[in-house]
Amino acid sequence: MRDIFGNLIFGFSVAFTLQNLMYCLIGVTVGTLIGVLPGIGPLGTIAILLPITYSVPPVAALIMLAGIYYGAQYGGSTTAILVNLPGETSAVVTCIDGYQMARQGRAGPALAIAAIGSFFAGTVGTLLIALFGPPLASIALKFGSPEYFSLMLMGLVAAAGRIDIISDAICPWCYIGKRHLERALEILEGLHKLRFTVAWQPFQLNPEMPAEGVDRQKYRIAKFGSAERSRQMDERITEVAAGVGIEFHLEKLTRTPNTVKAHRLIRLAGQKGVEDGVVETLFEAYFCDGADIGNDRTLADIGHRGGLDYDAVLALLAGDEGHREVLAGDRMARNCGIQGVPSFALQGHVLFSGAIPAEEMVDAFRRAWELLKHKAA
């Protein structure tokens, strides 16, 4: 412990010289200016600005690079707050509340919160690294070839990417896309030895829908121009669904619901580990049985059939748990440029939208996974 604090004090004594503080200031300033550019991020900023450190002493160069990194991080948060455009991926979440604060005339406090939060997290992270670095290093030195091989093998066996499906519970193409994805996952695991977990994320096709929903026939006539046009669209989607083994009965539907509560149900199912079963039951209840999925008791019954406790679902829907998170997820999807569903993302990167055939999904996920692996390496 004494050595750790001694090393920290020595490090601060080196960093807090006037020359090194100046290099840090330059790094933060330039890093912030580059970091505001969308899509570059901290690592890209460092790669761009690395040449300016070539003529700098090694210690000063490291301090300058650290300043560039943290400046780029803050630059991404700046555009996320001011113009709802994240400079890099970690700033996407900042859009949710930061941009709303800016619209209310509170951009200054939002930027200050981001800066203070980054400083605090960076300071705590540095202290933790200093605290746990020596024992972890001593453990690492004991590793030999057999241990490294075992770790690599375990990583290859246990590695599973995550596919996020951005969808709405009343989107027929999302149900059809689910079938295509199920087939694609079988092919990916059987033929390419790739396994992925699946998570469902919220999106509202009708974000202005009243909480109680509306009469479906009147709503679709107003939206599509006539009952005949609405009927033709239902017939077409019913035919497509039959091609993947789903028997739609859209004539049974009488209400177009607000889907926030349905998304809250899916969120609860994800927390309880039964998300796929609840999503399947929810789609089936709406498209095949004509259920009103804006009704609390109907949703509780769907949740129960999908593996949740009936009373627990009723209690959830009676309160506001998950409501804010669902709306935030919907806003995040729109901020990322998603305008239609289903949309599919791998490891947080949106790949495509639409219920494309399983074989095309396989190709897209396989190629994206290879690119992500090479990027990580």
What are the structural domains of the chain?
Answer: 2-141 (no CATH), 161-367 (3.40.30.10)
| pLDDT score for 239 | 97
Instruction: For residues 35 and 42, give the distance between their C-alpha atoms in angstroms, rounded to a whole number.
Output: 7
- Give the pLDDT score at 35: 81
304 CA to centre of own chain:
27
Q: Highest mean pLDDT: which of 38-52, 125-139, 279-293?
A: 279-293
Q: For residues 190-200, give the mean pLDDT.
A: 94
In this prediction, residues 248-265 reach a mean pLDDT of 98
pLDDT at 48 over 70: yes
pLDDT of residue 139: 84
Query: For residue range 299-352, what is the model confidence (pLDDT) as tens digits?
Result: 999 999 999 999 999 999 999 999 999 999 999 898 888 989 999 999 888 999
pLDDT, position 242 = 97
Peptide bond before residue 342 is cis, with ω within 30 degrees of 0: yes
Residue 88 clears pLDDT 70, i.e. is over it: no
**Can you give the pLDDT at residue 156?**
56
Q: How many whole angstroms separate alpha carbon 254 and alpha carbon 295?
A: 13
CA gap 366, 191 in Å, rounded: 11
Amino acid at 196: F
161-167 and 196-202 as β-strands: parallel, antiparallel, unpaired? Answer: parallel
Phi–psi pair at 361, nearest 5 degrees? -60, -45
**Quick one: tokens of 86?**
């994240």
More confident residue, 186 or 77: 186
Give the span between the Cα atoms of 170 and 257, in whole angstroms.
Answer: 8
349-353: strand order across its sheet: 196-202, 161-167, 343-346, 349-353
255 — phi, psi (to 5°)? -125, 145
Q: How far apart are CA 163 and CA 142, in angstroms?
A: 36
Using CA atoms, how far apart are residues 341 and 176, in angstroms rounded to an integer? 11
Q: What pLDDT, on a 0 to 100 scale, did the predictor assign at position 159?
A: 54
Q: Tell me the sheet residues that pair with 164.
A: 199, 345
pLDDT tens by residue, 89-137: 667 667 777 887 888 889 899 889 888 887 888 788 878 887 887 788 8
Please give the average per-residue pLDDT across 190-196, as a whole number. 92
